[in-house]
Chain A
Amino acid sequence: MLDPTSFDRFEEMKQELLDIIEERLDESEHILWASTDQQFYFITSQIVVFSARKTIVKPAELVSVVPEMTSSSIFYHFIDARTRTFGHLDDFRAWLYGFEDKYRDLCDILSNVDPFFSTLPELRQQLSNIFKDYFGKER
């Protein structure tokens, strides 16, 4: 298994991927093939970062803001963030750690969310529930 968020640069991940593929190909005694309709395509992408024109200053505001976030905002802040923040953190934790230890328990809960096994709307729901539960209790 390759964790894409554990690499600092895409080039490193690409190289690791190629090495793994080469290694498996080296093991094979047979000529490998794929039908024309089942090819593998290497595609690159550019991320476009839009302003959502929303700013919050208090962590408790996450309760009302997260359920309204678009799927692409969830992707940007919870998945893409891991490739661009120090320590490969999502944006929520990166921000909450800035309040010193105050939200450490919330960060622990967030670190248990695996973002790669649910759809973005499901992820939004999961995060919304976490923030609602946490700040509901806090109040």
Chain B
Amino acid sequence: MEIRGHLDLLLLSVLDNAGPVHGYAVITALRDSSEGAFDLPEGTVYPALQRLERAGLVASRWDETAARRRRVYELTDDGRRARAAKKQEWRGFVVGVQAVIGGLA
């Protein structure tokens, strides 16, 4: 399933639900919670997280405590607000599309 244009909302949602996590866990959560529906190259998540960080929606830091050095990501307050706004926008979009195509059946 093509998720271009919706990746930001998905990443913000995963971070909101999972709390501070590293990139691999973000990707795993995305894959598991979508039950494999989203077929995206896993590596594209990292530039997307960096982009969200530059926008001030995500903060990150190196976690040196694990066996491997990992970058841990978490939502900022702006990120939570952006997530809520995007979620609202998405619901409106879904309602509009359903109205046009005639429900879920």
Q: Do chains A and B interact in one complex?
A: no
Interface residues of A (CB under 8 A from B): none
Interface residues of B (CB under 8 A from A): none
